[in-house]
Structure 1
Amino acid sequence: MRNGDFSDIAAFIAVAEEGSFTRAAAKLGLSQSALSYAVRMLEQRLETRLISRTTRSLSLTDAGERFFQTLKPALESINNQIDTLKTLHNRPAGNLRITTFKHAAQTVLFPALSAFMAEYPDITVEIDVNEGLADIVAERFDAGIRFGEQVEKDMVAVRVGPDIRMAVVATPDYFARYAPPQTPRELGEHRCIRYRQKTAGGLFAWEFRKGESALDVKVDGALIVNDSNMLEDAALKGLGLVYIYESQIVEHVAEGRLVRVLEDWCEPLPGYHLYYPSRKQHTPAFSLLLDRLRYRPHG
């Protein structure tokens, strides 16, 4: 192959990763026609069809799959070396992809990224908000952030946040009409606002722990939402009880807009951890972000 084919290979790999010319073109900042031309020229030079296209779908041929599996690690290694060389010139650079919860993005990632990205303007960070437990290897993420108890045993896990507590709350007006529950089992007598997980699709069970006792309660109620901010709004409008992150409602409780119940059943949960494969070769950009996110308890 001749010089200049590196960009064509990068174009093919982007299409293979995204499974779409549209998404790959957006990722590379190219027009779809330019991307399609680059892949077509690569196929002509190789005299091999790499991608099967129809009007509705795209898939790799057997040759394309072998080509992709062989060259992707090599391209990643080249990009890592380029990032390392840039770092040697005091300009850390690279692309990082992190999958996480919305709450973790808001409470852990964004506060750290404000100063981090100002300090390292050549590092690009992509955040994928996904409530499911993504396969970070198969989906080509650099790392994920989840609760410590959810991290697979074959992953390296680094704590990036303090313990987290949940809370059950409703408005004073709601509790003027309904007696506050004293135990989680009494939630069946209340109008509870249920939460449907966007990715998994299931209704979230309310989890309670008190000493050695543990209860997962499938509550009932006429309103179902799939966003934590909607939970907060629904509670403030007096529509029922919600089970929500304590950090979201602490000011509402302090100022009397919401009343908390079952607090003794909401024990701290393991905080957020950043996890990644143990065999992962760190890029300088990843190491810098990992160090910035690492949780350091005060005192």
Structure 2
Amino acid sequence: MKNRKMLDFKAMAIFARVVEHGSMTKAASNIGIAVSAVSSAINKLEQTYQVKLFNRSTRYLELTDAGKVFYQGCKTMLEGAESAEVALEEVREQPNGVVKITMISSVANTIVITALSNIKKLYPSIQYELNLTDDLTGFLEQKPDIIIWGEDSSFDDSRLISFKLAELNLITCASNEYLSRSIPINHPHDLIQHCWLGGHNERANWKDLHYSHSKLGDFKLTPPINTYCNNVLALLSLAKKHLGITIRADIEIENELRDGQLTHILPGWKLKNKFPLYLITLNRTQPAKTRVTIDEIKKQFNFYIDM
């Protein structure tokens, strides 16, 4: 191997980001530099090592065999740098800094907020940036520290580390006003005759609702969803405005049930369907600010499971 005064770690890091994002344009946007600077870094590496790292076309980038080998080394280098950064964070007395959390909007007013409130009391130097969404398109480019989401199958990326927080209980509900002016519901079969509200991502999940009664047995149905909405909080508002029946996680509608804004339909019939909720991170090693946040969120969900 030739002697070099200094390896071009910056160019190697840029190369790794290009591989991860699949294009120079996306990598440049993520890093915060010009596309020309990204292209220049790649060209410099190829000239330095006298190898071709990518097969380029107008539509895609494809790693060469040399590029694949080189990427593994660059990836290891970046992981080492991240570990070094975490080690520096550890020597500080108090966890501090910004923690970016992306989560499904339906859990915004639930256990997660209780956890963050507890952490702020212990570590006031920690700041939170919350991104409430029902669409994770492009979420990796935003580089959140923590993602709280349902349906683990939505994530097909080997870089993500997933932990199941809980299997949330689901409740069939509607407003009292809607129920008072509609066909009486005495059995799950009666639900088929009603208006249903659902999210776009619930089309597949609700194809087979499984109700179970301790004495009357089981009953399955596919609800006739009349109104779809791409935002869970808006969907909840539609239910409270008497537009139909919906199914929500119990922790999502605790306040609405207690205040009488929504009513639990057929409480004697339990839904066997569950809503799996996951905590997802982009790295196995976390700085103190992220680690204490994750630990408190897990702690609060353990309380929920034990209830």
**TM-score computed with the length of structure 2 as normaliser:** 0.71
Counterpart of 2:51 in structure 1 is 48
1:217 aligns with 2:221: yes
Q: 3-state SS of the aligned residue for 1:30?
A: coil
Question: 1:231-270 to 2 correspondence within 5 Å?
Answer: 231-266=235-270
Counterpart among 55, 64, 69 of residue 67 in structure 2: 64
* Cα deviation 1:267-291 (Å, max 9, x = unaligned): 69688564789xx964443543332
Give how far 1:135 is off.
8.0
Counterpart of 1:8 (choices 6, 11, 14) is: 11
Change (3 A) 1:146 1:165: same
Amino acid at match of 1:133: D
Distance 2:23 2:109 in 1: 30
Amino acid at match of 2:195: R
CA distance in 2, matches of 1:131, 1:260: 22
Following the alignment from structure 2 to structure 1, what is the Cα–Cα distance between the partners of residues 206 and 95? 41
- Equivalent residue number for residue 140 of structure 1: 159
Match of 2:89 among 86, 90, 93: 86
Query: Percent identity at matched positions?
Result: 24
Conservation of the 8 A alpha-carbon contact between 1:191 and 1:221: yes
Counterpart CA distance in 1 for 2:284 and 2:205 is 38
Instruction: Name which of 182, 185, 189 aligns with 1:181.
Output: 185
Cα distance 1:209–1:50, how it changes in 2: closer, same or farther (>3 A)?
farther
Write the letter of the residue equivalent to 2:157: A
Tell me what 1:126 maps to: 145
Q: Deviations over 1:97-136 (max 9, x none)?
A: 8786443465344543464685346998434465442587
Q: Which has the higher strand share?
A: 2
Deviation at 1:218, TM superposition (A): 1.4
Q: Which sections of structure 2, spanning at least 5 residues, go unmatched?
A: 130-142
Q: How many residues align?
A: 280
Aligned partners of 1:83 and 1:94 also within 8 Å:
no
- For 1:202 and 1:56, the matched residues in 2 are separated by 33
1:208 equivalent among 201, 211, 225: 211
When normalised by structure 1's length, the TM-score is 0.73
What amino acid maps onto 1:22 in structure 2? T
Contact 2:97 2:127 in 1 (8 A): no
CA-atom RMSD in angstroms? 4.0
Would the aligned equivalents of 2:100 and 2:145 in 1 still touch at CA under 8 Å?
yes
Contact in 2 for aligned 1:98/1:144 (Cα 8 Å): no
SS at 1:223's partner residue? strand
How many Å apart are 1:80 and its aligned residue?
0.6
Determine the C-alpha separation between the residues in 2 that align with 1:122 and 1:231.
26
SS at match of 2:225: coil
Greater relative CO, 1 or 2 (CA 8 Å, sep 6+) = 2
